[in-house]
A and B are shown apart, each in its own frame.
Chain A
């Protein structure tokens, strides 16, 4: 790791000011992506701004029909939260299956969505549940926020402050984990809210998280695993690497989608 200066602001506002003032600076949340990347010298920021002492970025609250989670809330906190377990159990389940217990004690929802790793779990939940990403400047719908591989709509000096999830009537998440990294080889989040059904896929897309409209249409007719039978996702635009080729991942999308629906209806 190359040397850098370290700053620990005590509010999101202070952090945003530092981010603009310090040249070549980066925010650090749980650090479980950034520090390994810096060790490999794939990133070498001149300054790190640690969000770990900003109380305004923490916490989980139920606000009417939404569950609002502060950006610095860890995966372990989301997984163990009675509010999340009650309102959107699939989201608590997802958070409880990121990485391993030690990683979940450090990793945060804000860090995960701002990084938009194509194999991260959270982006699929945000997209399927129709979540809103709140920054220090504005509010963005998940589909506006995630713009591509490791790319988001975040601008200079912009910080994710919280994520607001509308409560779904049914939701489920299933992932086929890479056994070493625990990242999703394929993860599928399904959510039903009123008459709308969304199916979001992570781990598979060349451009990051995406929706599967054919599965959404099929599930809108009847929200059951059976509705997805015979439905195949194309291998076009699907990632291939040493762990799985595009055809295999495309097949997994169908399998995981069915499992996610089964979880959503409690089967």
Chain B
């Protein structure tokens, strides 16, 4: 066992892990933050996407111990109390989900997209940048609409790029 310390959703946390403990296991099992999902467990589906030091990564293919001292944001860290994050609100408004399994990863990927590319995202860019996130229900159509609207809304609320989820 080893000790790992990091900041998760703005709070400092410390836990005992084995070196082989994955970041997603640490988040779900140690911290009980079960919003981050495990889908394929082979770094293809994107259900496990979280932000590490401000960048979207697949937490099923990241060792928890390798995140020592880093800042992690999960889907639980987006909303401000009862107020949904603009990207979450856009997914609700545009019905960018059906079963909801892929949704946390989709939203974390969407916020990362805005961080990298700004508030104006065209359909082609969104579809290309969703390469790492698989949805088996929706056919992506409403997800793409939601991300475009959410990106714009993040701009309107004056949410600065990069800071939005950190």
**Interface on A for B, CB 8 Å cutoff?**
1-6, 8, 28, 31-32, 35-36, 38-39, 48, 50, 52, 76, 99-103, 105-106, 180-182
Chain B interface bracket (under 10, 10 to 19, 20 to 34, 35 or more) = 20 to 34
- Contacts A3-B18, A36-B43 hold; do A103 and B62 have CB atoms under 8 A apart? no
Q: Is the CB of A4 within 8 A of B20?
A: yes
**Interface on B for A, CB 8 Å cutoff?**
2, 18-20, 22, 41-44, 46, 49, 55-58, 61-63, 65-66, 68, 109, 112-113, 116, 129, 131-133
Q: Measured between C-beta atoms, what is the minimum distance from B33 to chain A in Å?
A: 18
Q: In the complex the two chains form, what is the Cα distance from A260 to B66 in whole Å? A: 38
- Contacts A3-B20, A5-B19, A6-B2 hold; do A101 and B63 have CB atoms under 8 A apart? no
Q: In the complex the two chains form, what is the Cα distance from A102 to B57 in whole Å? A: 5
A101 contact from B2, B19, B132, Cβ within 8 A: B132
Q: For residue B41, which residue of chain A has the nearest CB?
A: A39
- Contacts A6-B2, A106-B62 hold; do A101 and B20 have CB atoms under 8 A apart? no
Q: In the complex the two chains form, what is the Cα distance from A36 to B68 in whole Å? A: 21
Q: Is the CB of A48 within 8 A of B19?
A: yes
User: Mind listing 11 A-B residue pairs with CB under 8 Å?
Assistant: A3-B18, A4-B20, A35-B63, A101-B129, A102-B46, A102-B109, A103-B43, A103-B58, A105-B55, A105-B57, A106-B62
Q: In the complex the two chains form, what is the Cα distance from A50 to B70 in whole Å? A: 15
The listed residue with most B CB atoms (<10 A of its CB), out of A5, A28, A99, A102, is: A102
CB-defined contacts of A36 to chain B, threshold 8 Å:
42-43, 61
Q: In the complex the two chains form, what is the Cα distance from A50 to B131 in whole Å? A: 27
CB-defined contacts of B109 to chain A, threshold 8 Å:
101-102
Q: In the complex the two chains form, what is the Cα distance from A5 to B19 in whole Å? A: 6
Main secondary structure of the interface of A (DSSP, over half): mixed
CB-defined contacts of A99 to chain B, threshold 8 Å:
131-132
Q: Is the CB of A101 within 8 A of B56?
A: yes
Q: In the complex the two chains form, what is the Cα distance from A5 to B65 in whole Å? A: 11
CB-defined contacts of A76 to chain B, threshold 8 Å:
55
Q: Is the CB of A6 within 8 A of B57?
A: no
A103 contact from B2, B18, B132, Cβ within 8 A: B132
Q: For residue B42, which residue of chain A has the nearest CB?
A: A36
Q: Measured between C-beta atoms, what is the minimum distance from B39 to chain A in Å?
A: 13
Q: In the complex the two chains form, what is the Cα distance from A105 to B112 in whole Å? A: 11
